[in-house]
Structure 1
Amino acid sequence: MASSPPETPGSFRQLSGAQRKAFFAAWLGYLLDGFDFILITLILTEIADDFDLNLTTAATLVSAAFVSRWLGGLVLGAVADRYGRKPAMIIAIIAFSVGSGLCGFAWDYWSLFIFRAVVGLGMAGEYGSSATYVMESWPKSMRNRATGFLLSAYPVGTVLAALAYELIVPATNWRWLFYIGIVPIALALYLRRALPEAAEWKEEVEGRKDVTTSSMLFSARRRLPNTALAILLSAALVFIFTNSGGGATPWLIALSVLCFVAFAVQLAGRLWPVMIAIMVTVFCAFLYSWPIQSLLPTYLKSDLGYDAGQVSTALTWAGLGYAAGSCLAGVIGDKLGTRRTYVLGLFVSLAFVFPAFLLPAGNVVLLWVLLFAMQATSQGISGLLPKYIGDHFPTRLRAAGLGFSYNVGALGGAVAPLAGAAIADDIGSLGTALMVLAGSLTVVVALIIGFDLPARIGRALNIDSDAPAFVQKERKTTSGR
């Protein structure tokens, strides 16, 4: 018999055995997700040499996983809302594992692009299902820590990927990094047998077929139109992010936006303007973080001339900073509040972004320190993002609402490497391009979250919702009268 997560625990040690088990399983899944996803950024130069690609074209392979993420977030989020968080998490792990393994067999640019898109489907589902699974298994008083601690797994996965790159690529070739990406399937088999379902979902949603996202999106009368809409949107995004659209690209972008709005209206109902605002917030967040995530290895190798070992060490320190920052953000977020902590972390990060990319080659130890501090504050603070987004949706819509809005916004990650490479081509410095994008977009995101724009839009439209972002505000207003 499911019971609500207790409100009294204040530390990890006070959680029940089932809650700790749920966390560690989801954490391990997200670690392997980060390992598989980041591999492409480590070997862009090797792939470009093998397939005779320039840097801008090779960078679109990073974008491939982002092109499919919206679909993974939508479909696997709907599965999680209808059938439970655990089965969606298992499907996601299998998807990104199979996609990663297939990448090792790629024979040209397009085959690798397609296989990376499969990885994107799984990663999107993993983000939404794991985050909602842990949040809804933990007490509400600890949910910033739940997501902050969970997202610390992703950079640990990137650190392991960097170490694997250092050990494997010089001795063999880049394909072996992808072959080992199929290992997480073993975790999926374990999860299927060992984990309970999230208590909050079981109490509020299980058995209610009429209120979940799957019933809204995939009902008999909507199934075929939405399938056609998904195919049209996917084709438009492929043309856009492979630079194949030519003069039609502006029209393809407009078409994509309309398709996303159509899905948001169906998915969120009256909350759709709030969902669109969250998508914009996440899009900007990826524009400040993903140029560094995706192009930092290339910058260290091409601009600073570091070898594979030095690149691996630098990425290890950056990843450790990200992990430490995520955990710290969760602890502070439960004390100061999600938005206040988020904005504070973003502004502190600006003190490290500019020195990190103005540092000349040869200052290896100082580079490690700056990358650690920069990622702890700028990227680590995103450990609060699932909690921030999830607060805008009720439990019955949370997995798909979080998964879809986050992964549509994550298209900023597809734009980011292209923007970074294009700016670098114009000004002749990849480091300066990364510094400009990270610095400017950090301020934009801080302002959006600081002024609470998504929830403010919802309140301005008099949207009635039992989502925490609206209920909490309502309680504060009532108590202040």
Structure 2
Amino acid sequence: MSSSATDRKVETEHISAYSSDQDSLSVDDIFNEKPKLTLPVIKNYFATRLTTLFDLPVYHSDKAWYVLINPIPALREMSWRDWNYYGLGWCGWVLDAMDFFCVSVALPEIAVSLKSSVADITWGVTLVLMLRAIGAISFGLASDRFGRKKCYIVICILFIIVEIATGFVQNLEQFLGVRAIFGILMGSMLPVCMITAMESQPVRARGILSGLFSPAYCVGYIMALVWYKVFAPTYKEGEGWRSLFWFSGGLSIILIIWRMLVPESEEFLIMQEKKKKFKEQNKKNGLHKYFNTTIIQTLKTEWLLFIYLCIAYAGWNFTSHGTQDLYVTMLSNQFGVDLNKRTLIVALSNVGGLIGGACIGNVSEVLGRRLSAIIATIFCGAFVYPSFYDADKNWGAYVVLIGFMIASWGISSAYALELVNKAHRTLLIGLAYQIGNLISAGSATIQAQLGEKYPIPGAAPGVYDYGKVMCIFCGAIFAFMVVILVLGPEKFHRNLKMTPAGLGAKEELEEGLILDSSDKEGKK
């Protein structure tokens, strides 16, 4: 790292005090504290959810709100290496999303080429969703043990193989096989990319960088649409989708070369040394001689937080699937919107997501992560009714709705990173995200089945009132997310960096405002 990167001032933290004392300095640095589940602690925690929610970071800063919300000074703190890390993570997530949506944008053509139905081909999408957790576990553990760089390159190489193979499939069985492998890779790419992009960044830049990271998924969707239009007339008639997959695989070569030129992050190298030191301290204790003792420590300290993150990510995924999966079907089936207009609406909504993510990410630097996500979610609720009733006329409201929905999503990257421990960031965040995604994967099916119970009177057979179902479903999900975020913890601007093994923790890294505690002395 450059000297400017390593000498940054660590700013105020929101640290939860509801845990037991740490056993040692090394545990304190890379592991969270064990949850202390006594009745007084639990009662005090829930009693302080609203007070901590409105104890805003701007109250504890000597800067005015309009200074804190300005992302330019924060982005200027980033070194060229910081920009490389963020660019690698962001572009990897874009490519991951594009590869996923390559199937969605070409579903009818793939079905015809493989002599199958559209419903059969959609199983390829379902398999991807089902198997993502496997990738999150396998590559999450690998990334936290062997490094972000090695795993990033391996995943990209496997992407090339799978995408090229997808372009050569000749039947449904082959197609489902390669997409199942892609599902594992997709589950592994998100956490590796997120950690690569975010863990080394300046504290003040986290809000804007987090706000722009999740909407990279929207960019991937737009790229899939655009490149499909380009490659549709290539190769054989009706089989331009094969060229699309070959092209998508080729893009991974750029990322491999780029990643090879950028060294492993300093944070991982220090963490690796501290894990070795921790294992040496425990190698004489029974089974610790034979197993990875750091993962045992993580299971002891992170289980409660991990459950919360799974629930929170399930809610966020429900908001995404609930607002988007059946929307195009609703436009075409219920309102008769033509293909060109549907494409325009979806593209604009994704652009709205990019804008919303950037804006609310900055707002979180003033209001905190939880409150900012709650405000964005409440605005989503306000736009539910106009988005799904008379959707052919009120599609502008839907663009705003998606903007706020993805804005709430955007905060999740910084929020989760500041909560989990340093020893297994990739595993904890990636697995929580994918379990949440698996829980919410049935959103479209639930909405479709409920919608079929409400045929529109006087309309043609098979025309259903999907708008009513989506309105009720999304309203309930947004209310659920508000409750979950109100009840959740927050460690705003928590230090993500580590001092080298053997040097101990620096005093300034251990100080901060304890805003999740009734004790306001500002110490752990």
Task: Settle same-fold status: TM greater than 0.5.
Answer: yes
The residue aligned with 1:242 is none
Question: Where do 1:442-457 residues align within 5 Å?
Answer: 442-452=478-488
Q: Does 1:30 align with 2:61?
A: no
Decide which of 284, 300, 304 is 1:269's aligned counterpart.
300
Q: Does 1:297 align with 2:308?
A: no
The residue aligned with 1:186 is 253
Query: In 2, distance between residues paired with 1:471 and 1:110?
Result: 56
Query: In 1, distance between residues paired with 2:442 and 2:289?
Result: 35
| CA deviation string 1:296-328 (max 9, x = no partner) | 333334443344432322221011011111111
Decide which of 386, 390, 406 is 1:355's aligned counterpart.
386
The residue aligned with 2:451 is 424
Q: Which amino acid aligns with 1:183?
A: G
Query: In 2, distance between residues paired with 1:182 and 1:167?
Result: 16
The residue aligned with 2:364 is 333
The residue aligned with 1:205 is 272
The residue aligned with 1:254 is none
- Offset of residue 286 of structure 1: 1.3
Q: Which amino acid aligns with 1:195?
A: V
Decide which of 405, 422, 426 is 2:432's aligned counterpart.
405
Q: Indicate conservation of the 8 Å contact 1:285/1:445, yes or no.
A: yes
> Are the structure 2 counterparts of residues 400 and 115 from structure 1 closer, same or farther at C-alpha, using a change threshold of 3 Å?
same
SS in 2 for 1:11: helix
RMSD over aligned CA atoms reads: 3.5
Q: Does 1:7 align with 2:34?
A: no
Q: Indicate conservation of the 8 Å contact 2:8/2:202, yes or no.
A: yes
Query: In 1, distance between residues paired with 2:178 and 2:513?
Result: 42
| CA deviation string 1:163-214 (max 9, x = no partner) | 23444447744444333221232123223322232232233334734769xx
Unaligned runs of 5+ in 1: 224-263, 456-465
The residue aligned with 1:195 is 262
> Are the structure 2 counterparts of residues 442 and 185 from structure 1 closer, same or farther at C-alpha, using a change threshold of 3 Å?
same
SS in 2 for 1:104: helix
Greater helix fraction, Structure 1 or Structure 2: 1
> Are the structure 2 counterparts of residues 360 and 338 from structure 1 closer, same or farther at C-alpha, using a change threshold of 3 Å?
closer
Aligned length: 422
* TM-score between the two structures when normalised by the length of structure 1: 0.77
Structure number with greater Rg is: 2
Q: Indicate conservation of the 8 Å contact 1:106/1:112, yes or no.
A: yes
> Are the structure 2 counterparts of residues 169 and 11 from structure 1 closer, same or farther at C-alpha, using a change threshold of 3 Å?
same
SS in 1 for 2:309: helix
Query: In 2, distance between residues paired with 1:205 and 1:306?
Result: 55
Question: Where do 1:366-377 residues align within 5 Å?
Answer: 366-367=394-395, 369-377=396-404
The residue aligned with 2:188 is 125
Q: Indicate conservation of the 8 Å contact 2:314/2:437, yes or no.
A: yes
Q: Which amino acid aligns with 1:325?
A: G
The residue aligned with 2:471 is 435
The residue aligned with 2:117 is 53
| CA deviation string 1:69-92 (max 9, x = no partner) | 111111111122112222222333
SS in 2 for 1:396: coil
Query: In 2, distance between residues paired with 1:144 and 1:127?
Result: 18
| CA deviation string 1:15-62 (max 9, x = no partner) | 11211222122222221112112233334455556654365x654432
- Offset of residue 96 of structure 1: 3.9
> Percent of counterpart pairs with the same letter?
21
SS in 2 for 1:380: helix
Tell me whether 116-125 or 89-98 shows the greater mean CA deviation: 89-98
* TM-score between the two structures when normalised by the length of structure 2: 0.71
Q: Which amino acid aligns with 2:183?
A: G
The residue aligned with 2:51 is none
Q: Does 1:83 align with 2:83?
A: no
Question: Where do 1:140-155 residues align within 5 Å?
Answer: 140-155=203-218
The structure showing larger relative contact order (alpha-carbon pairs under 8 Å, at least 6 residues apart) is 2
- Offset of residue 472 of structure 1: 6.2
